[in-house]
Amino acid sequence: MLRTGLFFCFIVLISPGLALTEAVGENGINAYAVHARGITGDGINIALLSAGNVRKSHAAFERPYGSAVTLYDFTDGEGLSRSNHDTHIAGIIISAGSPTHPEQIGIAPGAKIHSGRILNKTLQARGIQEALDTLILKKNCRIIVTGIQLSSPTAVGNGDSYWTQLYDYYADKYDVIFANAAGNSSPRITIFGDGYNGITTAGLGKDSLGRYRKAGRISNSGPTQDARKKPDVAAPTEDLYVPSSKGDDLWDTVDPNGYGLTSYAIPFTAGVAALLLETAGKTPVQNDDRSEVIKAVMVNHTFTDLLDKNGKENYSETATTWNSDYGYGRLDALQAYETLIAGQIVKDKTTKKQMGWAYDTISADTEHAYTIAAKRKQYLTVTVTWHRKLLKLSPETFLEEPAFYLNLKIISPEGKIVVFETPDRNNLLKIDYLCEQEGQYKIVLKNPTQTHDRDYGLAFKLTDISGQNSTETK
């Protein structure tokens, strides 16, 4: 049992301005462009686990069938507890607007929120396991959002805590996407943001021109305590105008000072994942809904021209750079969506696709090669990820399976190795290579371990030097 701390959540009532619409629109994560294509997260169930519950009766959650929110209590009989913090989170994801604010539409207004209270002052293993079992197995939640961080001195964010192992176990066993927060006001990533298999999100404030480009000052920076590259991505948090728990059509402005409160960043990750899962459900293709594929697609397609906490620009046109403050960049829902619908590529065949994804299983001491037809001066961006696997020995004990990792090589048309990356302790690799000649480039994955039959997801894109992508397919 560990003491926990909620993320900081400063509320100020001010003029909303563009508010939520700006962060969800083209100047933020560009989700409205996906809505325009008929994708709103319809049919996707999202679990929100936190210290309280959402205001179910808020007008922003009203639908023809009733409320888009369902409430649960997974504490030891503490009961439901209406929370501003959790109403805000739900609103960022599923707000459909209200009579007074019809324009404030969230990222995935077609989705449903299952709001589970998992603690009062302490977090118990029994309660969180009951929550996961109920919401994943009985309510078909494919996305889990966690609105707390474990900040006790004994809760070290190194991937080895019971809580982190629990999340990684469920992510792998049930193919669930965990939207984990980097956390706030700690020197390093906190639990649950240290998870291997989830997507860890940092918070972004605005730069001097009002753009969502600057890392929030109290959003926890990486790496993790065991030197892994977290956070993975970043999302807006400043000046979001969101539903309040104080009334059925009352609204609050959160993070007005751009602190980067990560409670308000993780809903963006969950919302984009919901859009992609709905998209996958409408295609005849197998495996495009795999959590590794969704993660690879989301991380591969980010806006990278960001500023760190000191206002320094770290963007490079010649290499993909992970930044300790904002990961691999700001989420881009439209590019992720376009990559998913571009379709699957398969190993040992040449594709003319300019973007796409792959899912496969690789055995020990085996290579998989994907051949991409590229033009001179195109950027080839590739992300590959796989799950950490754990055996459950008892309700509170896990054992990690033998170490597994993949090496990533890019081989030029001349047969030269132009990129070689090894993941260290990470279970995600991302590279960006400027193709110096036209021809067929090979993306080669090598499993050098003795672990058999491990699955992975891969995403890639080719970007012209002008920054414009082609959608040509094979």
Q: Is residue 432 part of a domain?
A: yes
Q: What is the pLDDT of residues 212-269, one digit of tens each?
A: 999 999 999 999 999 999 999 999 999 999 999 999 999 999 999 999 999 999 999 9
Judgement on whether residues 57 and 198 belong to the same structural domain of the protein: yes
Domain count across the chain: 2
Give the tens place of pLDDT for each residue, 23-65.
Answer: 999 999 999 999 999 999 999 999 999 999 999 999 999 999 9
Please indicate, yes or no, if residue 99 is contained in any of the structural domains: yes
Contact 183/190 with Cβ under 8 angstroms?
yes
Residue type, 294: I
> CATH number of the domain that 405 lies in?
2.60.120.380
Residues 415 and 274 in one domain: no
CB-based burial, 113-140: b 16+ in 10 Å, e otherwise: bbbbbbbbeebbeebbbbbbebbbeeee
Note whether 353 and 277 are same-domain residues.
Answer: no
Asked if residue 473 belongs to a domain, the reply is no
- On whether both 351 and 285 belong to a single domain, the answer is no
Express each pLDDT in 165-215 by its tens digit: 999 999 999 999 999 999 999 999 999 999 999 999 999 999 999 999 999
Q: Which residue has the tokens 């699957």?
A: 344
Q: How many angstroms from the chain centroid is the CA of residue 53?
A: 22
Residues 282 and 348 in one domain: no
Q: DSSP secondary structure string, 326-357?
A: TBT-EE-HHHHHHHHHH-B--TTSEE--SEEE
In the structure, how many helices (H) and strands (E) does the chain have?
A: 8, 30
* Model pLDDT, residue 14: 38
In this prediction, residue 319 carries a pLDDT of: 61
CA angle 224, 228, 230 (to 5 degrees): 65
CA-to-CA dists, residue 333 to 25, 238, 300, angstroms: 10, 19, 11
Q: Are residues 136 and 261 in the same domain?
A: yes
Residue 465 pLDDT level (bands cut at 50, 70, 90): confident
pLDDT reading at 439 higher than 50: yes
Which residue(s) pair with 116 in the sheet? Answer: 49, 72
* Residue where a domain terminates, one of 257, 290, 323: 290
Dump pLDDT digits (tens) for 274-313.
999 999 999 999 999 999 999 999 999 999 999 999 999 8
Say whether both 98 and 9 belong to one domain: yes
* C-alpha–C-alpha distance, residues 213 and 311, integer Å: 9
Residues 400, 273 share a domain: no
Average pLDDT for 123-148:
96
33: in domain = yes
Q: Which of 290, 307, 327 is the last residue of a domain?
A: 290
Q: Which of 370-374, 381-385, 392-396 has the lowest mean pLDDT?
A: 392-396
Instruction: Provide the 8-state DSSP code for 53.
Output: B
Query: Is residue 29 located within the same domain as residue 152?
Result: yes
Q: Report the distance separating Cα 19 and Cα 7, nearest Å.
A: 21
Residues paired with 123 in a beta bridge: 2, 119
Would you report the helix, strand and coil content of the chain in percent, each value rounded to 5?
Answer: 20, 30, 50
Amino acid identity at 334: L
Check if the beta carbon of residue 233 is closer than 8 Å to that of residue 299.
Answer: yes
User: Is residue 93 situated within a structural domain?
Assistant: yes
Structural domain range at position 19: 2-290
Q: What is the mean pLDDT of the chain?
A: 92
Q: State mean pLDDT over 349-368.
A: 96
Both 140 and 240 in one domain: the answer is yes
Instruction: Output the DSSP codes for 158-175.
Output: SS-SHHHHHHHHHHHHHT
- 440 and 372 share a domain? yes
- 192-226 burial: b if 16+ Cβ within 10 Å, else e: bbbbbbbbbbbbbbbeeeebbbbbbbbbbbbbbbe
> CA 147, CA 56: separation in Å to the nearest integer?
17
* CA distances (Å), origin 470, targets 53, 339, 398, 432, 467: 44, 11, 46, 17, 10
| Cα 162 from Cα 237, distance rounded (Å) | 29
Residue 260 lies in a domain: yes
Using an 8 Å Cβ cutoff, are 176 and 138 in contact? no
Shared-domain flag, residues 255 and 356: no
Helical H segments across 194-350, by residue range:
266-281, 291-300, 333-342
| 384 occurs within a structural domain | yes
Residue 468 pLDDT level (bands cut at 50, 70, 90)? very low
More confident residue, 13 or 280: 280
Domain boundary residue, one of 268, 290, 312: 290
CATH number of residue 212's parent domain: 3.40.50.200
Residue 443 within a domain: yes
